[in-house]
Amino acid sequence: MNQDQTKQLLGQAAAKAILPLMDPETFIGVGTGSTANYFIDALADVRHLFAGAVASSVASADRLKAHNILVISLNESGPLSVYVDGADEIAPDFSMIKGGGGALTREKIVAAAAEHFICIADQTKWVSRLGRFPLPIEVIPMARSSIARKLVGFGGTPVLRENFITDNGNEILDVHDLTIDEPVKFESMLNDIPGVVTNGLFALRPADQLIMDDAGDIHHYQPGQR
């Protein structure tokens, strides 16, 4: 099985896992990326069982709409029972690095509004410690250089993501060479830098459940189980 086929199985497994939460009043929080795209495709088969979705990006909203799934804003939906999304890295406590697709800000907002966060990630995303994947940070363009200097002070090597503007009109710095020993503390510290919109550490609000492939099978894990 190749990585793409695995991602498809993960998306289908997530759609199945949330069936008990579905009713005609329920709106589902939907992430962004190639794994989340398979989740969206799997939702299409059960779209009659739930009310619609809140999307974490324009791309996901477009894909949901293409499947005739109603998309509403988070302001209209109120709290969500579940949010499903991929990750670039996930550690044993289910803290994550996200934002490889640049949707980190809306992903963090929608995840924070959900009672339950299910991460769907193939095993290449599993790490014992976060930081191998360059940490995406969405920044207000005028603050880019001053933020970059601070990141160098933290031992990082920030690289501007070329030809990329987020759905919110901002830029992304991808920060290489970071040692992230205390993700919760580091996430808060990065949030405190003026001009940082969002950083791609999801440690203050990690996933509650992980769906991942192991030895060719799809498994559901709670934190600390894998």
- Contact positions vs ligand 5RP (CB under 6 A): 31-36, 85-88, 98-104, 107
* Rounded Cα distance, 202 and 61, in Å: 22
Q: Are 148 and 157 in contact (CB under 8 A)?
A: no
Burial 115-126 (b: 16+ CB within 10 A, else e): ebbbbbbbeebb
Of residues 149 and 174, the one with the C-beta less far from ligand 5RP: 174
Closest approach of ligand 5RP to the CB of residue 220, in Å: 18
Residue 49 vs 176, nearer CB to ligand 5RP: 176
Cβ distance to ligand 5RP smaller for residue 122 or 146: 122
59 three-state secondary structure: helix
Q: How far is the CB of 147 from ligand 5RP (least distance, A)?
A: 19
Q: Which residue lies nearer to ligand 5RP by CB, 85 or 213?
A: 85
Residue 60 beta carbon to ligand 5RP: minimum distance, rounded to whole angstroms: 9
* Bridge pairing between strands 80-85 and 114-120: parallel
Catalytic-labelled residue, pool 25, 76, 89, 107 = 107
Strands (E), the chain: 27-30, 52-55, 80-85, 89-90, 96-97, 114-120, 135-139, 157-160, 171-176, 196-199, 201-202, 209-214, 217-221
Distance of closest approach, residue 32 Cβ to ligand 5RP, in angstroms: 4
To the query of whether residue 107 is one of the catalytic residues in this protein, the response is: yes
Active site residues: 107
